[in-house]
Structure 1
Amino acid sequence: MQRRRLGHHWRLLPTLCVGLAAVLAAGPAASATHRPGTPAPAGHDQARHQGAPVDLSRATAADLAVRLQALLGQHSMLAADLMRSRIRGDDNFVQAADAALGENTDAMTDLIGRLFGAATAKKFAPMWSEHVVELVAYAAAVADQDAAALAHAREELIEYEEELADFFAGASQGRLSSAAARGAVLMHVNHLTMQADAYAARDYATADRLYRESYQHTYDLGLTLALALLPARDRATLREPIWRLRSQLGKLLAEHAVLVQDVTRAAVTNTPDFDAAAAMINGNTRDLAAAIDTLFGAPVAKRFQALWAPHVEQLVAYAGATAAGQPARQQQARAALQEFERGLAALLAPAIGGRMTPAGLSAALHEHDLLLLRHADAYAAKDYRGAHNIADQTYEHMFELARRLADGFGAEVAARLPRGGPDTGRGGLADVVENR
């Protein structure tokens, strides 16, 4: 099959510029031992994080709430990727995706234990693990066109989702009803199973729309659960402007990173879902544009547009060149990215009040790009485990970046963000919990 030409797709996505938030004030990439949504060690802004594990016992309630959102959102995307790879029959990717999802499950269990104790975590772990097993079983049944196995997987999923919902409702001590919890968890399952159905039917536009909806819903569910499960003295923090901005930026930036990786994978393998993957990035970019517009106004967002769109195009061009074994084109893409890094750094440095120099911003932008290029290299080499490790680092980096951005922008800017975030919703059930 002739490889598609990559460049022209991205000229159709003019709003890609505002992914700029993914690199504003970005520091070196987080270590793989730093789990999503947790604070970086002291001094991280001044030097490269050398891999020291984060002491979660020192994390605040706000840190744990972001961590809960991050892990739930990551679970949604990893589960969807695993289901899709099973439908494609890509066994090597299935193994790597399964390992990544297992690490996410371990992190979720650890978090539940820290919040509610070892006994509660011990009860949670098997329910959550079986939930993952049945999602994969569902995808296998779809791939095999096995109606009986599909019906059984649906039945098992419903059973485990009811158990999970009742578990969360019970832990909330009445702040979250079983009915509301079941509705939220069932929506999560429906998103994942319906995106698998659409993917198997090669309706990639629908599959990818549901992919994004699943991430957004599950991420926002983390806030609902945090409001339900945390003590009253801690819940007030989650209503403060800085925390809300940190949460919303983390949501959008982490999704941005995942979707860039998704479209570069499609470019590497020349799969028919490339156009739909591009459309997903465009949707995320519109949400980022809404955030930038809300915080700083339309003129600021427009100033970044001319720099950001070619940046994404070069990332995709690099992935295609890597898959085609064309080092000259790879080097051209790298050179173009370096030019972008210097140009955007020079533009942004005055806007952030001198808190980072142009050189420091350029280095941060380079680190961001480097992670994405390393992911493309690993995926093209079929080192799927390595690619997942790099993707995990990038995902984590976005939450550290969101913290730094929110703190850097300050409470006055953060207060401009609507209570639910621009065009992003607020988790659906969050108000239900807050008002109980």
Structure 2
Amino acid sequence: MSRQAWCRRTLAVLVVVLTGLVAGHAAVARGGRFPTVAAPATPGDAAVALQAALGYHSVLAADMMRSRIRGDEELARAAENAVGRNTDVMRQLVGALLGADRAEQFRLLWTAHVTALANYSRGVADEDNGARDAARSALSTFEGDLAGFLAAGSQGRLPRDAAAAAAYLHVDHLMQQADAYAAGDYARADQIYREGYAHTFELGETIANALIGPAAVKALRAPAWRLRSQLTRLLGEHVVLVVAATRAGATNGPDFAAAGEAVNANTRDLAGAVDTLFGAAAAQRFQSLWADHVEQVMAYTGGVAAGDATRREAAIEALGGFEKQFAAFLSSATGGRLPVADLARTLVMHDQMLLAQVDSFAAKQYEQAQDSAYSTYGHMGDVAGQLAGAFTGTLGDRAPKGGSQTGYGGTAGHHG
């Protein structure tokens, strides 16, 4: 059996169960079933879960809006369903922190927000100024309502004005990227796409700080948690940007070049984080290996788009080489705290999941593609937690303690 066939068979029964509430602590299976969320095991788990779920909401909402603008109605419906599943993840997280009544209040509020975003994108697609203005008005109402909800839920620890400003920026990012996408300014659209993801991801920490209470907030100050949070953001962004690029490539979309540059920018940011942790030589090695990984995923996508089985199999073979080399690299960097065999299996799963969503998307099995993408995102959140633990153990007192803007200390975002 070829590796491609084995990948498809495995993914048919795969349910990714995230440990420690990473990426929403959701078990997302094919078929669009709603995930379930356990009570947060620790304050740190709850915070990372909120970050990951909010970050993914931004991506899913932007994808939904872009599908409407392109007129891809079937894909838009699948995207809307995925947004709904993500909303349910957040509802359950809110319920775990604030109780069932507050969770239902949040669901209604958030669903109205998603509806207004969908209406805005329809107005953009139809060049209907009245529809856009009505959607803007609804979104403005949402901003105030969400601010009030968060201020009340946090017992004033998150001031209403600060919450309203954060909600406004989230909405503004989504509307701006939709406008730029409709105008064919794909580079700007993808720049705002990334900014929106980063903003909502970091907003998760702000909300968690307010909701979990001052006695538990100190857990979010620990270097190990901050590294886990940053790696979850960067590796999660890798998934969403690669998924976007493969979909543009599979359809020969006009936004393919911009999507590819967004992936490259994320790779540079990841290399910058490695520079912060392990130095320039390790960062250069990481960037070379990671770029090869991305290149082969895109080569596989090209083979799928062209119906070229030889190109697909060549890409799969090359990914096998990457998985072994990258596992050896990380194991060496952590002094053997990450065993090579375990790492290789993790990387095989990551690649299989990415390729499976390419196959589903190319076959226009959009619900299946969305579920595969969601599972891949969640899996990388789990991986980020494992890496953060090993990196912290390796670095000890040398673990970075700075702010998220620089990868929690050092040169992140500037390497290469």
Q: Would you say same fold, with TM above 0.5?
A: yes
User: Which residue of 215, 218, 223 corresponds with 2:197?
Assistant: 215
Whether the aligned pair in 1 keeps the contact of 2:26 and 2:89 (CA below 8 Å) is no
TM-score by length of 1: 0.84
Structure 2 partner of 1:403:
385
1:304: which partner in 2? 286
AA paired with 1:380?
A: A
Contact kept? 2:24, 2:90, Cα under 8 Å: no
**Equivalent position of 1:419 in the other structure:** 402
The CA deviation at 1:354 is 2.2
Q: Is the 8 A contact 2:36 2:92 kept in 1?
A: no
The one of 253, 258, 263 aligned to 1:281:
263
Structure 1 residue ranges without an equivalent (≥5): 1-28, 42-52, 427-436
- TM-superposed CA distance for 1:32, in Å, is 4.2
**Aligned counterpart for 1:37 among listed residues 1, 23, 32:** 23
User: Deviations for 1:191-227, whole angstroms, at most 9, x for unmatched residues?
Assistant: 0001000000000011000000000000101111111
Q: Does residue 188 of structure 2 align to residue 206 of structure 1? A: yes
TM-score, with structure 2 as normaliser: 0.88
Q: Quote the residue 2:300 is aligned against.
A: 318
Deviation sequence 1:289-341 (CA, Å, 0-9, x none)? 22111111111111233332222111101011111111011111111111222
Name whichever of 399-408 and 129-138 sits farther off. Answer: 399-408
Does the CA-based 8 Å contact 1:245-1:414 persist in structure 2?
no
Alpha-carbon RMSD: 2.2
- Report the Cα distance in structure 1 between the residues aligned to 2:200 and 2:397, rounded to whole angstroms: 23
Match of residue 158 from structure 2 = 176
The alpha carbon displacement at 1:36 in A equals: 4.5
Tell me, what secondary structure is at the counterpart of 2:39?
A: helix
| Map of 1:125 onto structure 2 | 107
Alignment check: 8 A CA contact 1:37 1:63 kept: no
Q: Distance in 2 between matches of 1:55 and 1:196?
A: 31
CA–CA distance in 2 between the matches of 1:355 and 1:186?
A: 43
Aligned equivalents of 2:207, 2:389: Cα separation in 1: 24
Q: Which letter maps to 1:421?
A: S
Q: Name the CA shift for 1:356/1:226 in 2 (closer, same or farther; >3 Å).
A: closer
Distance 1:179 1:133, change over 3 A: same
Distance 1:420 1:229, change over 3 A: same
SS at match of 1:176: coil
Matched residue type, 2:69: I
Q: Higher relative CO (CA 8 A, sep ≥ 6), structure 1 or 2?
A: 1
Q: Deviation per CA, 1:340-389, whole angstroms, max 9, x where unpaired?
A: 22222333332222234433332222111111111111111111111111
In the other structure, the counterpart of 2:90 is 108
**Identity within the alignment, %:** 49
Q: Residue 347 of structure 2 is aligned with which of 365, 371, 388?
A: 365
Measure how far apart 1:124 and its partner are.
1.3
- Letter paired with 2:80: D
Structure 1 SS opposite 2:158:
coil
Cα deviation digits, residues 169-202 of structure 1 (max 9, x gap): 1212122211111111000000000100000000
Q: Given the superposition, is the C-alpha separation of residues 57 and 148 from structure 1 closer, same or farther in structure 2, using an over 3 Å criterion? A: closer
Partner Cα distance (1:344, 1:407) in 2: 18
Q: Which residue of 2 aligns with 1:166?
A: 148
Q: Go from structure 1 to structure 2 and tell me whether the alpha carbon gap of 1:413 and 1:120 turns closer, same or farther (over 3 Å shift).
A: same
Gaps of 5+ in 2: 1-12, 28-34, 410-416
Are 2:225 and 1:246 aligned? no
Amino acid in structure 2 at the alignment position of 1:202: G
Q: How many residues align?
A: 388
1:236, distance to aligned residue in structure 2 (A): 0.7
* CA distance in 1 between partners of 2:26 and 2:171 (Å): 32
**Which position in structure 2 is the counterpart of 1:294?**
276
The answer for the alignment partner of 1:263 in structure 2 is 245
Counterpart CA distance in 1 for 2:172 and 2:14 is: 33
1:415 positional shift: 5.3
From 79, 92, 110, give the equivalent of 1:97: 79
1:32-68, CA deviations, whole angstroms, 9 ceiling, x for partnerless residues? 4547535699xxxxxxxxxxx8772362121111111
Separation in 2, partners of 1:203, 1:285 = 22
| Structure 1 counterpart SS, 2:364 | coil
- Residues 273 and 397 from structure 1, CA distance in 2 versus in 1: closer, same or farther, beyond 3 angstroms? same
Distance 2:350 2:403 in 1: 28
The one of 69, 85, 97 aligned to 2:67: 85
